A and B are shown apart, each in its own frame.
Chain A
């Protein structure tokens, strides 16, 4: 009994740590979902695009993936604003269904473009610290997993402060709480959508780098991350930072434990089934409004 428990210590620790990745992905997804009430089904693909961006910078210039974010974050922010302005917002004015369909089209375009540019083969971000790990008790923890967790904490704090303290952040919060009242208070929804989407895509770039450091990735690996991040949102509730954080840890755990007990298919099957079950029990989220 004790032995089996100590065998579980490793997957549990790992799950909690790389759950941080889901926190960062889910935050980007929920920013857009909050203000536009549209799930950006291409969000997972933007994350993978972030991984590829870091991969290109790493292999061609030898720049560390984490440092490459100095260029990646502004680049993805601008890309997000342009996509929102010229594609999604126009579709959004037609209907939310149209926006969802456009996002689906963007998702396929990114997947296919990534396949053309970088082949369908799996890639990973190999750095000097990729294989470093440290020991706590009986558990060996890879350094990158710890990084995932630390980054999640940093991102949650930064986004929270941004939403609380800056004018733009307050505008985004206001628009996601009550669109009409926000408009009456002089908030331009088009601008808010643009910034929210830009920030979401910039967060996708951050998530992409750490995803690439943690897991191998290929052009179509964005879809599972999208589904799990959606699960995190509905589990944690929209707009609740603590909820999102806990949700990310829980999905990280479900993935690592599913993998531990049922192998590679269980790794995705368990979190997917959890998403379905949570949706069934409480469609608007466990901690949602």
Chain B
């Protein structure tokens, strides 16, 4: 009985938190709260997906902006073709996922640093393409190739809020599910040593591809929701490197490769985002400095630090929490003792 209660407590707590969050608009929470939370959900989904790639699959993909921008453009263009925006959101995710499949044969040939730079070029290419290409007519179609998202001015904020909540919760559940599945164990094995993973019968390419596609879809949907809130889209901000900055910062502050990492990191990033809005001209300077300091001082992130402290307090070598297998734990220990 006690075990059952302990096992289900986190689930019940999570359910209650979600229920309270979902009820906030109905309870008449101030608009600014809702706004903060919308940003939180969207950044959280993107950061969770980046953690899936960089933290769990060993893919330092520097292209979340590509998925966000593509999905945003898909949704926007579809609204011009009289497609309801909520269909557009899903279509945006699908286009981002298809795009990830399209580029996977080339980017997956690259390894390590080549993969990172290869994916860094992708959003830049898309930005230039969308600066030239004008798919549908519209009044905002100037040199910036920007578009209004048609017919979203009437959408109440609550609706955007719930959409954001849905994608945020979905990303958390998805990560939890993946990490506890065979797929997740496979990813952990690849991250720790892809050669030995391959020799134990794991299809490295396929698993990496799956997590790339999943991340593209989810990041895309989250990005598209952001643009329904913003109401317009243009290439320079849609494919901006700031998207990468957000997910990187959230994941690194929270703890890369730790399930709860992005959750903690995103809270800090959203607070920073709104607090630094007043100092927009030095916002990147501060964020960059935080990134450098955290990476050097606490490379395991806040959740990693808490975990290490707890372990130190417990005074004995506990197995790491989460998905890490006992073998990779032993290996990491041995690697440390070699250094």
List residues of A whose CB falls within 8 A of some B CB.
Answer: 33, 37-39, 41, 87, 90-91, 94-98, 100-102, 104-109, 111-113, 115-116, 223-224, 227, 230, 234, 262, 265, 268-269, 272-273, 275-276, 279-280, 283-284
Contacts of B110 in A (CB 8 A): 279-280, 283
9 A/B residue pairs, CB under 8 Å, sorted by A: A95-B299, A104-B248, A107-B288, A108-B245, A112-B281, A112-B282, A115-B281, A280-B109, A283-B111
Residue of B nearest to A120 (CB): B281
Known: A112-B288, A275-B118, A280-B109. 9 other contacts (CB 8 A): A37-B113, A94-B299, A98-B299, A101-B252, A112-B281, A227-B124, A265-B131, A272-B128, A280-B110
- Residues of chain B within 8 A (CB-CB) of A269 are 125, 128-129, 132
Q: Point out the residues of chain B lying under 8 angstroms from A39, CB to CB.
A: 113, 116-117
Known: A109-B289, A283-B114. Is A276-B248 also a contact (CB below 8 A)?
no
Q: Which residues of A contact B252 (CB under 8 A)?
A: 101
Which 3 A-B pairs rank lowest in CB-CB distance, beginning with the nearest? A280-B106, A108-B288, A112-B285
Q: Of A90, A109, A234, which one neighbours B288 at CB under 8 angstroms? A: A109
Q: Considering the chains assembled together, what is the distance between the CA atoms of A107 and B54 in angstroms?
A: 20
Q: Check A276/B288 contact, CB under 8 A, given A38-B113, A100-B113, A265-B128.
A: no
Report the separation of the CA atoms of residues A94 and B252 in the bound assembly, to the nearest whole angstrom: 13
Q: Which residues of the other chain, B, contact A101 by a CB distance below 8 angstroms?
A: 248, 252, 291, 295
Tell me the complex Cα distance, A39–B60, Å. 13
Number of A-B contacts (CB under 8 A): 118
Task: Please pick, from B109, B248, B291, B299, the residue contacting A283 in the complex, using a CB distance under 8 A.
Answer: B109
Which residues 224-240 in B have Cβ within 8 Å of A in the complex?
Answer: none
Q: In terms of DSSP, what is the predominant structure of the interface of chain A?
A: helix
A102 touches B128 (CB 8 A): no
**With A and B bound together, what is the CA distance between A269 and B121 in angstroms?**
10
Query: In the complex the two chains form, what is the Cα distance from A234 to B299 in whole Å?
Result: 30
Within residues 70 to 124 of chain B, which ones have a CB less than 8 A from any CB in chain A? 105-107, 109-114, 116-118, 120-122, 124
Across the two chains, which residue of chain A brings its CB closest to B110?
A283
> Which residue of chain B lies nearest to A277 when distances are taken between CB atoms in the complex?
B106
Q: Which residue, of A96, A108, A279, has the highest number of chain B Cβ atoms within 10 A?
A: A108
Q: In the complex, A265→B111 CA distance in Å? A: 29
Residue of A nearest to B289 (CB): A109
A33 to B292, CA, bound (A): 20
Interface status of B323 (Cβ within 8 A of chain A): no
Contact A96-B112, Cβ < 8 Å, known A265-B132, A276-B122, A276-B125: yes
Given A38-B113, A105-B288, A105-B289: A273 and B296 interface contact (C-beta under 8 Å): no
B286 vs chain A, min Cβ distance (A):
8
Our pick among A105, A262, A275 for the contact of B121 (Cβ within 8 Å) is A275
CB pair A276 B118 closer than 8 Å: yes
With A272-B124, A273-B125, A283-B111 as known contacts, state yes or no: A116 contacts B282, CB within 8 Å. Answer: yes
With both chains docked as a complex, state the minimum distance between the C-beta of A35 and any C-beta of chain B, in angstroms. Answer: 13
Does B319 lie at the interface of the complex (its beta carbon under 8 Å from any beta carbon of A)? no
Whether B325 is near chain A, meaning CB under 8 Å from some CB there, is no
**B117:A106 contact, CB within 8 angstroms:** no
**Does A41 lie within 8 Å of B289, measured CB to CB?**
no
- Chain B residues whose C-beta falls within 8 Å of the C-beta of A275 in the assembled complex: 118, 121
Contact B109 A279 (CB under 8 A): yes
Q: With a CB–CB cut-off of 8 A, which chain B residues contact A227?
A: 117, 120-121, 124
Q: Is the CB of A272 within 8 A of B113?
A: no
Q: B61: shortest Cβ distance to chain A, in Å? A: 12
Q: How far is the CA of A283 from the CA of B287 in the complex (A)?
A: 32
Tell whether B284 is near chain A: CB-to-CB under 8 Å. yes
Are the C-beta atoms of B54 and A97 separated by less than 8 Å?
Answer: yes
B152 at the interface (CB under 8 A from A): no
Query: Are B284's CB and A108's CB within 8 A?
Result: yes
Cα–Cα, bound, A223→B124 (Å)? 9
B176 within 8 Å of A (CB atoms): no
Known: A105-B288, A112-B285. A100 touches B118 (CB 8 A): no
**In this assembly, does B24 line the interface, its C-beta being within 8 Å of a C-beta of chain A?**
no
**A109: chain B residues within 8 A (beta carbon):** 284-285, 288-289, 292
Q: What are the residues of chain B within 8 A of A102 when measuring CB–CB? A: 291-292, 295-296
Complex CA–CA separation, A91 to B293 (angstroms):
10
Tell me the smallest distance from the CB of B127 to a CB of chain A, in Å: 9
Inter-chain contact A104/B291, CB cutoff 8 Å? yes
B121 & A116 in contact (Cβ 8 Å cutoff): no
Residues of A within 8 A of B282 (CB): 112, 116
- Residue of B with least CB distance to A267: B128
B234-259 vs A, CB cutoff 8 Å, 1 = contact: the mask equals 00000001001100100010001000
Of A94, A97, A106, A113, which is in contact with the most chain B CB atoms at under 10 Å from its CB?
A: A97
Closest CB in chain A relative to B103 CB, distance in Å: 8
Closest chain B residue to A263, Cβ basis: B132
Residue-wise, chain B 265-297 has the 8 Å CB interface mask toward A (1 for contact) of 000000000000000011111011101100110
Q: Is the CB of A276 within 8 A of B60?
A: no
Q: Which residues of chain A are near B105, meaning CB under 8 Å?
A: 280
- Cβ-neighbour of A116 out of B112, B125, B128, B285 (below 8 A): B285
Chain A residues near B113 (CB-CB < 8 A): 33, 37-39, 96, 100
List chain A residues, Cβ under 8 A from B245.
108
Contact A90 B296, beta carbon cutoff 8 Å: yes
Can you name the residue of chain A whose Cβ is closest to the Cβ of B105? A280
